[in-house]
Amino acid sequence: MEYLLSDSEHPIFELELLPVWCAVCTWGHLLMHCQCVFYLDNEAAKGALIHAATSTVAGKAILQMFVQEEMDLQIKVWFSRVPTSSNISDDTSRLKTEEMAALGVAKSCVDWTNLWDKLGNVGSRQWGFDSGIQ
């Protein structure tokens, strides 16, 4: 949060971009050469992903890395808006995972160290994140 707050008064925007990039990094091997629809409940993040542009340093870095993964994996993306009330991931983003567990959804481990390192000079090196990030 310290990193995000250094450039943004309301880092919810960057926090809405982050899971989309995490998804392609975590499940890229499954998404390669596929058509993918990403559902977001944040209009600003959706617009930034569609246009691959934003004004914040962290947002630009995340978008750049997302586009790089998109090209490397040769995935065709579409972004759609889902109301927060219909977003099945909304509770999960608040660490309420009971519904997902009841549905039998498997958990995936995100390699946070690798993601922050991919951000280069705006990632872990600048902010001194250690390799123990979970």
How far is the C-alpha of 63 from the C-alpha of 52, rounded, in Å?
6
DSSP 3-state of 111: coil
Strands 35-40 and 76-81: parallel
Which pLDDT score, from 0 to 100, does residue 57 have? Answer: 85
pLDDT mean for each 10 residues of the chain (134 residues): 79 91 94 96 94 90 93 96 86 89 91 82 49 40
Instruction: Report pLDDT for 90.
Output: 85
CA–CA distance from 125 to each of 32, 79, 114 (Å)?
29, 31, 12
Q: Within a 10 A sphere around the Cβ of 14, how many other Cβ atoms?
A: 25
pLDDT tens string 80-117: 999 888 888 888 888 899 999 999 999 898 888 888 88
At 71 the pLDDT is 96
